[in-house]
Amino acid sequence: MNVLDVIMIALGLSADAFSVAVGCSISLCKVTPGQVFRFGFHFGFFQGLMPILGWFAGRVAHHYISTWDHWVAFSLLTSVGGKAIYEAFNEDRRELDEYDPTRGLSLVIFSVATSIDALAVGLSLAAIEVRIWQPATIIGAITGALTVMGMVLGNAIGSHSGRRIEVAGGLILIGIGLKVLISHTLLK
């Protein structure tokens, strides 16, 4: 897996965080630098941590799944991508806190909820024997940056773009899953 693949995965994974950041910045009306920092830092941190946790879990289970590793990676990435697309059209998917969602329990819940999918990606990366540190760093940095962009640009972008961003992120993850499957079945 090359750096471009990792960047594409990171963009796909960060779509939820970007969407939440846009939605929260719209609901806040006036976004402060502290709110932008808190969202960007926490979303990036959790998005970088989850693939590491998934990777370690995958390394433990790798000898059990090595003959099906490409199918596992394909299935996980496709399901994560499909979930992102499904959630983009699910109207009841997020309840935004009417207070400040960049503080306390709301911040932790948003950070974890938007990064759970990265756990599955970490498991996929372990299955295809990719070292995790560089992908986790790239995933965390891109998510942090896109979260900051979502917060800063939220009012200008508007609430309708969030759904399109999540669909694009889901399609990217499905595409990467297909690439892994094809490269391990047809090209070997």
pLDDT digits 0-9 by tens, 149-176: 988 887 666 555 556 766 776 677 677 7
Q: Is residue 106 part of a domain?
A: no
Q: Is residue 11 part of a domain?
A: yes
Which parts of the chain sit beneath pLDDT 70? 27-29, 62-69, 73, 77, 84, 91-99, 155-163, 165-166, 169-170, 173, 187-188
- pLDDT recorded at residue 97: 35
Q: Is residue 98 part of a domain?
A: no
- pLDDT recorded at residue 27: 66
With vertex at residue 158, the alpha carbon angle to CA 154 and CA 163, rounded to the nearest 5 degrees, is: 100
- pLDDT recorded at residue 187: 65
- pLDDT recorded at residue 7: 94
Range of the domain at 13: 3-92+115-185
- pLDDT recorded at residue 159: 52
- pLDDT recorded at residue 62: 64
Q: Is residue 97 part of a domain?
A: no
Q: Is residue 66 part of a domain?
A: yes
Q: Is residue 10 part of a domain?
A: yes
How far from the centroid of its chain's Cα atoms is residue 129's Cα?
Answer: 20
Given a contact cutoff of 8 angstroms between Cβ atoms, the answer to whether 124 and 132 are in contact is no
- pLDDT recorded at residue 188: 56
Q: Is residue 103 part of a domain?
A: no
- pLDDT recorded at residue 154: 74
Domain total for the chain? 1
Strand, coil or helix: 28 = helix
